[in-house]
Amino acid sequence: MIGDVYQFADLQSMCKPKPDAPPPKLATVERWLRAQGVPFCYDGQGGVWTTLEALNAALGLAGGNKARDTYDPNELG
């Protein structure tokens, strides 16, 4: 992962069925991303990439990155 960008190898590890299984092929990763509703782009090197925000939004966790925002202890009523 580079910053908040998940590269093809990261996505392969996320969608493979078992830890000891071989890395999934591009078609499998694409199918998994589409099934989860995650938008992605092709990287021009035979893979795909997406962002942390795209993954969170697809999983219903949009806005769930509040820890990255400025912390204000006064908000904790």
Asked if 69 contacts 30 with a C-beta cutoff of 8 angstroms, the reply is no
Strand 41-42, strand 48-51: pairing: antiparallel
Query: What pLDDT, on the 0 to 100 scale, is given for residue 3?
Result: 81
Q: How far apart are CA 10 and CA 43, in angstroms?
A: 13
pTM, rounded to two decimals: 0.73
Written as one letter, the residue type at 64 is G
Under 8 Å between Cβ of 58 and 36: yes
Tens-binned pLDDT, residue by residue, of the chain (77 aa): 778 999 999 999 999 888 899 999 999 999 999 999 999 999 999 999 999 999 999 988 866 455 555 656 666 55
